[in-house]
Chain A
């Protein structure tokens, strides 16, 4: 295939074509809040760089849907569309202990958790968690999908997709720490 502007490496294409995504916030549900505001998200995206947000259309802060078995944090809902969900104000009183792996993940992000299922977020650790873990992770999914020019199908098997997203999230966390 002949080389063209479409076959340029992604960083070069991103520098030429990336548009900054729309970031907007909807009012959180009563008693809840958006730990990272829209301007926090914008700043984080600028820090991550255009190669990461290339192809991203929007990041929306929206009220979380009710789910019995998990606390939703964020989601890549379609090509280039990420939503971050509002959260209860800390401390989170879950009423029971978290599974060990989830507890370790939150502890690594700066949370404190006791045996009664109370998860507290000292300082701005919850904001950093939403940006460095949740947003960065969803951006990892977006990059993989966008890199493979996919819109309606998966770029990789779910486990590999998650691993790839987490690898990118780890790199991005280092940029905002």
Chain B
């Protein structure tokens, strides 16, 4: 089984570099040649979700498209299968192309269960702490967080300049985060804030720990998921209950935050789930306000049978 990443018309050299990083992390190659089964990642009507698939057992090529136009019609027509990464935001509906390739490749290679259905998914969603040193990586990660349904994110800004960077740095970070339509609230935080949570789960790109898919990531606001932390920093953390989970990616020097974080966020979104739909036609029940004359409770009233009155 081999996986090839096929960037179909990707223009930005930085994105191409990150696609190479994604390929190395996934143990795949990045090529312009299609090898084996062609799997397209595109948001189309006939696309299947990336969740609920079996692990890949054959050679395959994963095609991702241009930053603005998406995949070409030619590639889409040739595709054996089209996959979509389900997002949960009304405004941020797409991921960075390298992040999308990493998420799709991770699920295609490993397979997963289907996305959960829940009556109130937001109650199940954990808090998220992003530890970032690069402004574009932080911006891309915030874009992914918004796309996967997060509304609030904690950010440990270690020189990324999200809060206090120069104008140029902040502009690039905002652009990467699609800030003009990204309603995410970003709160300043440090590792000292870990003590506020009952459970802390640190997601690492590799290492001999529990696989991320076997970790519970839907324990609500009392749980904090940390991404972007180095493995050597985990031992010094002071929190009540720290778990470490691994994405089981190939060990590389300085893996891009956006790739590791996007995969983690996608897995959180899978476990947290989407809102369970009611029967067709049902809507949220609006509040009703009634005016009525309240009667005495039935216990206060003596009902008398007419026959007893006659005998009386």
Contacts and interface: CB of A to CB of B under 8 A. Distances in A.
Interface of A: 67-79, 94-99, 102, 105-106, 133-134, 137-138, 141, 145, 151-154, 161-162, 165
B287 interface: yes
Nearest to B302: A96
Interface string B268-312: 000000000000000111111111111111101100000000000
B291 A73 contact: yes
Nearest to B293: A71
Contacts, number: 72
Contacts of A137: 291
Contact of B292 (A71, A79, A97): A71
Contacts of B297: 69
Contacts of B288: 75-78
21 contacts: A68-B298, A69-B298, A70-B293, A71-B293, A71-B295, A72-B292, A73-B290, A74-B291, A75-B290, A77-B286, A77-B288, A96-B301, A97-B296, A98-B293, A98-B295, A99-B294, A99-B296, A102-B295, A105-B293, A137-B291, A161-B289
A134 B289 CA distance: 11
B296 A138 contact: no
Nearest to A76: B289
Contacts of B294: 69-70, 99, 102
B292 A98 contact: no
B289 A138 contact: yes
A73 B301 contact: no
Interface in B253-270: none
Given A138-B289, A165-B289, 8 more contacts: A69-B295, A71-B293, A77-B288, A96-B296, A96-B301, A151-B286, A152-B285, A153-B287
Give chain A's interface secondary structure class.
mixed
B291 A75 contact: yes
A151 B287 CA distance: 8
A75 B289 contact: yes
A133 B296 contact: no
A72 B289 CA distance: 11
A153 B294 CA distance: 25
Contacts of A77: 286, 288
B296 A73 contact: no
Contact of B300 (A96, A134, A152, A161): A96
A159 B283 CA distance: 25
Contacts of A99: 294-296
Contacts of B287: 76, 145, 152-154
Nearest to B297: A69
A21 B288 CA distance: 19
Given A68-B298, A69-B298, A79 B293 contact: no
A153 B284 CA distance: 9
A74 B293 CA distance: 10
B284 A70 contact: no
Contacts of A105: 293
Interface in B18-33: none
A105 B294 CA distance: 11
Nearest to A140: B289
B291 A98 contact: no
Interface string B89-105: 00000000000000000
